[in-house]
Amino acid sequence: MFIDEKKGPFNIQNIVNRLIITSIYIVLITLIACAMPFFGDFVALCGAIGFTPLDFVIPSIAYLVVKRPKMLLTWGLNISIIFTYSCVAIMGSIGAIRFIAIDVGTYKIFNNS
């Protein structure tokens, strides 16, 4: 949208436009992160809810559904991975929500402490 595709990706005008847009984006995200001193707690919550199941639980479930392993050891290992990392995701979510609740009580915008 901000570049001219006819000129190519390495045209100086396209490079400058991308640099300006990227810089503005980074500045805005940094300001949002500075305005929320408990930004790390939100990142932890997103990781517990989104990334843990996507990285560990869903691949194990997909393997069991697609391959249908005959060996009990393989089946048991995948079930234990699913159970363990589901518990990790739940505990991580609870911990992140707890930290958010604690930090909201002492929230001051752009405060470093």
Same domain as 41, residue 27: no
Same domain as 21, residue 44: no
Same domain as 57, residue 8: no
Same domain as 59, residue 46: yes
What pLDDT is recorded for position 33?
76
The residues near 6 (Cβ < 8 Å, ≥ 6 apart) are none
Q: What distance in Å separates the CA atoms of residue 40 and residue 99, rounded to the nearest whole number?
A: 10
What percentage of the chain reaches a pLDDT higher than 70? Answer: 94
> What's the number of domains the chain is made of?
2
- Per the model's pLDDT, the better-predicted residue between 109 and 48 turns out to be 48
pTM for the structure as a whole: 0.65
Does residue 1 register a pLDDT over 80? no
Residues of the domain holding 23: 1-35
What pLDDT is recorded for position 36?
72
The residues near 45 (Cβ < 8 Å, ≥ 6 apart) are 92, 93, 96, 97, 100
Same domain as 43, residue 14: no
Same domain as 56, residue 104: yes
